[in-house]
Amino acid sequence: MRKHKGFTMVLLTFLFLGIFLSACMSDDSENQHAEGKISIDIYQGKVEFRDQFIKLAEKYEEENPDVSISVTAVGGGTDYFTSLRSRFSAGDEPEIFSVAGPSEAEDFKQYLSDLSDTKAASLALEGTLDGLMEGEQVYGLPFNQEGYGLIYNKKMFEEAGIDAEKILTYEDLEEAVQKLDSQKDELGIEEVFALPANEEWVISNHLANTFIAPEFNNSVMEAYESGTVPFEKSEELKRILDLQNTYSIQPTLSMDYSQQVEQYFTLEKVAIIQQGNWIYPTVAQMDQTFAEDNLGILPIPVEGHEGKLPVGVPNYWVVNDNKDDEVVEASKDFLNWMYTSEEGKEIVLNDLNFIPAYEGFDTSEIADPLSREIYEYSSKGYTIDWVFVGFPTPWTDSLGANMQEYIDGGKTWEEVIEDSRREWEGMRQ
Amino acid sequence: MKGRKRRLYVLEILGILLGLLWLSPFYLIAVNAFKTNRDIFADVLGFPSNPTIQNFIQAFIDLQFLQSLFNSLIITVASIGIIVFFSSMAAYALARNKSKLSSVILLIFVAAMLIPFQAVMIPLVALFGKAEMLNMVGLIFMYLGFGSSLAIFLYHGAMTSIPSTLDEAAIIDGANKFQTFWFIIFPLLKPISVTVGILNVIWIWNDFLLPSLILSDSEATIPLRMFYFFGQYTKQWHLALAGLTIVIIPVIVFYFIAQKQIIKGVSEGAVK
Amino acid sequence: MKSREFSYWLFLTPVILSLTLVVIIPLLFGLYYSFTDWNGLTVSTFIGLDHYMRVFEDQRFISSLWFTIKFSVVTVILLNILGLGLALLVTKQLKSSHLLRTIFFMPNLIGGLILGFIWQFIFISVFSDIGSIFGAESLQGWLSSPATGFWGLVILTSWQMAGYIMIIYIAYLQNIPSELLEAAEVDGANAFQRFRHVLFPLVAPAFTVSMFLTLSTAFKIYDQNLSLTDGGPYNSTEMVAMNIVNTAFTYNEMAYGQAKAIIFFIFVAAIAITQVYYNKKREVEL
């Protein structure tokens, strides 16, 4: 009996300790934003630069003692958009959050503040605001610019005697690939490509976008408003997908991004991968010199658009309108500071490693060779836009799934195109 | 008899082989945690050629380990305390009052176990959001809601084997219901309490989806923080594996301390 | 304790309150939403049974349901064989018995989501490494086809839960008097006969318990599915729980997803009730 009493007491102690502590903790969380300060919650889906972004926010707090910022980055296991939506349906709305483009912004129409009077909006580069504009109203400020293409190993191209500058058309590319393939042993590679077909976004968002963007005149809004998808260049898309798949390390359907970039490309098992400038930190972390000296990027050849690289705005910052005016203004001030003040720009360039989407940056400071090259294309206007942020939200997923099924031999290419077109039309009704 | 010895010998070998097979994933986590990202992809199976503890240092910082461990502990301990406390009382009330109403209440609790979480997820978050309860306290309350069903079921099963003469004697001695339960009956339920505790530790400690929808950044538990290593696109395997090793250690320690009870607890829960 | 008594309700109120707020009210809301065009934020019109009609024409949902059923059947069988096998092994007088119990149970301590990531790493990187060492083609390209994705999920779940089921069987095996088995042996029964006529009838109740546990777990799996295959390739390994989450969030059809969740609930409940009914019937017969 006595022994049991002890057990009961321990249990009760635990219980009350738990209740007491959780009560304290919840007090803390309420007081996270100190009294009398304007508090700004920022919600975004890029875990990659979470720490650097927190640093940026802290810097701003130092300069503006009346503002307190808390940053939440939603990571891998949870879909960013899922948790954003549940925050909103719970009435726990962030002041600033990110959306990818008009299709994602659709559900949040009533929450978007007009940002057209901000300094940042006036400095945004030509075309970077288009994805979230309505007439004269600007609803989102671009995070940055990103670009993708065929990233290749410079040293290997030299060894194989290929001049990357001369690869413009599909035929040029095919010839180069065959040349590399015939010298696999000398170059020490397993295959020419590593195609991560497991990642739907690589084959559908990116690769398919390259061939769909021209038919929407490179306009996100045109894609967003279109009731159907013409797919005039579907044969070209098939050709390049087949090329990558044929000359890739197999099986492509289970290969993921991390294998493609780290295991195969950085360890020099393949010569070319279809990817974008975001791979740089990962490559540099594994092999600094390789990253600095050995990365080149080529456009994916599109007939009639040779030499153009797909560059676009992956995400926009939007400010929640459903807050007090004072808070909305403070939120805008923070975004302005981030992209237009000297300290902000410094961190954006050197810590976040962004390719800026605004004027007034010292672009010679752009952190890495890939980004510099992409910025080059962008400033000359040799670009294909990222119109996929204007596709119906789930459409890229189903296109990706259809393309995977084609790779696996379960669907013909005609079926892929027909099914995808039908789905687009269904989603746009 | 000789044949029997030999058979035992063969079984011993078989057991050890199976054990190694079961442990192999843990081995892979541990060896690769000491390699750089590059070395992991170069050679997954072997021992690290130049072991580094850099991953552990980085993972420890990224996980904000002490804080998230503290958060996880608070949530787990408080939830389990509350589940044990309230469920045992409820089961006592249901078991000692044999009526239609009690059976119906018990049935509702048991039926609630069948409801898939996805069916209530969104309305639940919306409801608690309106009450401004999207924080640790709200989460602990939710765990009571989701966890009480199984606990009541287990306690109820055990309660039937405790003779009600015990309570009657206590009442005659002048104890009230509350005292009777806590001082006479509850101590006899200790094995079941341990069972309930263990089953819920395994669930709550590792739960991901629900806390991810509810907790703010400063309240994040260990599983939530783990996901900083698995970005939307990138997986930082070297850090993830080191982080996993750090995270698994407290669990293994707890397991070895409470091993007897755990094994007993799980089987008690099953037999009842 | 009478139900009219104050103390009766005092003891019950906290759990009833929490169940009501956490499960019942959200479920009722969910049920209501499934008849409307709710988008997660607002409800504008009542559309009746439209969503439910759609579910029966939804090929992707039907194939995910089919996949889930196949997965559950295979997993339940495999887990019970493994669990019983391991239990028989560690209840022999082996020197390593105690250690083995510890080892077999360990995977249960780690969350499903994290296990999924670990096994993804094993299936893709480790398997192909081992495959190239031994020249075994069959180890290459796991998770790249519907079949390997299916078996990947089965292996992961079996590895994770076998130790748990083992413990349940041990509990029942320990209640079997060893004299019984020895007597059978003296009578000249071989190992199979001893298992068939002595052991099996005695562990039958354990089978019932573990079947219930494994079936309900297998049916509701989400975490492992998400981190191991994420439904790929081309949604061929998408299970019901994931299909519901994807419908609600990826496709942004909250109300339709809610309708699927209600159907899912009815399905799970039907299975459980059938099982309980048969067990009750069998117990009566015994």
Shared domain for A409 and A277, answered yes or no, is yes
* Per-residue model confidence (pLDDT) at position C41: 72
Q: Write out chain C residues lying below 8 Å of A410, CB-based.
A: 234
Total domains, chain C:
1
Closest residue on chain C to B114 (Cα): C269
User: Do A129 and A160 reside in the same domain of the chain?
Assistant: no
Please tell me the distance from the alpha carbon of residue A154 to that of residue A119, in angstroms, as a whole number: 40
Angle at the Cα of C251 (from C246 to C257), degrees rounded to 5? 60
Q: What is the mean predicted confidence (pLDDT) over B86-111? A: 91
For residue C68, what are the domain limits?
A: 52-285
E strand segments, A61-171: 67-73, 96-99, 133-134, 137-138, 141-142, 146-153
Is residue C258 assigned to a domain? yes
Rounded Cα distance between A170 and A177, Å, is 10
Nearest-CA distance A146 → chain B (Å): 15
Residue of chain A minimizing CA distance to B186 = A8
CB–CB of A257 and B217 under 8 A?
A: no
H helix or E strand, kind and range, residue C121: helix C112-121
Inter-chain touch A48–B125, beta carbons under 8 Å: no
Domain membership of residue A3 (yes or no) is no
Interface contact B216-A8, CB threshold 8 A: no
Q: For position C216, which CATH number holds?
A: 1.10.3720.10
Contact between B233 and A278 using a beta-carbon 8 Å cutoff: yes
Contact criterion met (CB below 8 Å) for A409 and A402: no
Token duo for residue C63: 């194939």
Nearest to C30 among B28, B119, B142 (CB): B119
- Regions in chain A scoring below 50 on pLDDT: 1-4, 6-7, 25-32
In a domain, A338, yes or no: yes
Mutate to test the interface with C, among B86, B120, B124 (most CBs of C within 10 A): B120
Helices (H), chain B: 2-33, 37-42, 54-62, 65-96, 100-112, 117-130, 136-159, 165-172, 177-179, 186-188, 190-206, 209-214, 222-226, 237-257, 259-271
Does A324 lie in the same domain as A413?
A: no
- Chain C residues whose beta carbon lies within 8 Å of the beta carbon of residue B247: 114
pLDDT tens for A316-332 read: 999 999 999 999 999 99
Q: What is the extent of the structural domain holding A336? A: 38-145+313-361
Q: Is residue A28 part of a domain?
A: no
Round to whole Å and give the CA distance between A135 and A129.
Answer: 11
Chains that touch A (3 or more CB pairs under 8 A): B, C
CB within 8 Å: B219 and A285: no
Do A94 and A207 share a domain, yes or no?
Answer: no
DSSP designation for A316: E
- 8 Å CB contact of B78 and A22: yes
Within this chain, do residues A112 and A227 fall inside the same structural domain, yes or no? Answer: no
The token pair that represents A321 in the structure block: 């309108």
Average pLDDT value over all residues in chain B:
86
C-alpha closest to that of A71 among B115, B218, B136, B268: B218
> Is A410 found in the same domain as A261?
yes
Q: Which residue has the higher pLDDT, C72 or B258?
A: C72
Q: Are A377 and A145 a contacting pair, CB within 8 Å?
A: no
> Which DSSP helix (H) or strand (E) runs through C42?
none
The string of DSSP codes covering A28-81 is HHHTTS-TTSEEEEEEES--TTHHHHHHHHHHHHHH-TTEEEEEEE--TTS-HH
Same domain, A44 and A71: yes
Mutate to test the interface with C, among B21, B26, B82, B114 (most CBs of C within 10 A): B114
Most A CBs within 10 Å, among B52, B215, B217, to test the A interface = B217
Which chain B positions have a beta carbon within 8 Å of C16's beta carbon? 90, 105
**What are residue A134's DSSP bridge partners?**
A137
Residue C105 and residue B263: Cβ atoms within 8 Å? yes
Contacts with B16 from chain C: Cβ below 8 Å: 96, 100
Question: Alpha-carbon distance A24 to A338, whole Å?
Answer: 34
| Helix residue spans in A247-384 (DSSP H) | 257-258, 280-286, 288-294, 325-340, 342-350, 369-380
Give yes or no: residues A189 and A278 share one domain.
Answer: yes
Q: Is residue C15 part of a domain?
A: no
Low-confidence residues of chain C, pLDDT below 70? 1-4, 283-286
Tell me, yes or no, whether C123 lies in a domain: yes
The chains found to touch B (3+ Cβ pairs under 8 angstroms) are A, C
With CA atoms as reference, the chain A residue closest to C232 would be: A198
What CATH code is carried by the domain that includes residue A303? 3.40.190.10
Query: Which among C26, C209, C265 is the nearest to B114, CB-wise?
Result: C265
Please report whether residue C24 resides in a domain: no
**Most distant CA pair in chain A, distance:** 89
Is there a domain that residue C272 lies in? yes
Give bridge partners of residue A71 from the DSSP assignment: A42
Give a yes or no: residue C29 inside a domain: no
Q: Give the pLDDT confidence score for residue B198 in this predicted structure.
A: 82
Domain assignment present for C205 = yes
Number of Cβ pairs < 8 A linking chain A and chain B: 148
CB proximity list for C222: less than 8 A, separation 6 or greater: B117, B118, B209, C112, C239, C241, C242, C245
Cβ-Cβ contacts under 8 Å, B235 against chain C: 117
Count the Cβ atoms, other than its own, within 10 Å of residue A365. Answer: 12
Which of B162-166, B203-207, C56-60 shows the lowest per-residue confidence on average (mean pLDDT)? B162-166
Shared domain for A76 and A153, answered yes or no, is no
Residue A376: inside a domain: no
Q: A15: which DSSP letter? A: H
Min Cα–Cα distance to chain B from A22, Å: 6
SS3 A178: helix
Q: Do C124 and A253 touch (CB under 8 A)?
A: no
Question: Comparing C-alpha atoms, which of B205, B195, B8 is closest to residue C171?
Answer: B195
Co-location of A181 and A125 in the same domain: no
Q: CA nearest A354: which of A78, A151, A145?
A: A145
Nearest CA in chain B to C14: B86
Contact predicate B172/B190, CB 8 Å: no
Is A369 part of a structural domain of the chain? Answer: no
Sign of CA dihedral B56, B59, B61, B66: negative
The residue among C4, C13, C15 with the most chain B CBs within 10 A of its CB, best to mutate, is: C15
- Smallest CA–CA distance, residue A358 to chain C, in Å, is 31
Q: What's the whole-model pTM score?
A: 0.85
Task: Please give the tally of structural domains in chain A.
Answer: 2
Q: Give the lowest-confidence range in A137-146, B99-108, B222-231.
A: B222-231
Q: Do the Cβ atoms of C22 and B271 come within 8 Å?
A: no
Question: What residue of B is the nearest CA neighbor of A279?
Answer: B234
pLDDT at C141: 80
**Could you tell me whether strands A309-312 and A146-153 are parallel, antiparallel, or unpaired per DSSP bridges?**
antiparallel
Evaluate whether A358 touches A125 at the Cβ level (below 8 Å). yes
Q: Is residue C64 part of a domain?
A: yes
Is residue A403 within 8 Å of residue A196, measured between CB atoms? Answer: no
Q: What percentage of chain C has pLDDT greater than the value 70?
A: 96
Establish if A392 belongs to a structural domain: yes
A301 and A328 co-located in one domain? no
Distance from CA of B50 to the nearest CA of A (A): 15
Same domain, A256 and A400: yes
Cα-flanking dihedrals φ and ψ of residue B139, to 5°? -65, -45
Cα separation values, A209 from A202, A256, A420, B31, C241, Å: 10, 20, 13, 41, 31
Does residue A258 fall inside a structural domain? yes
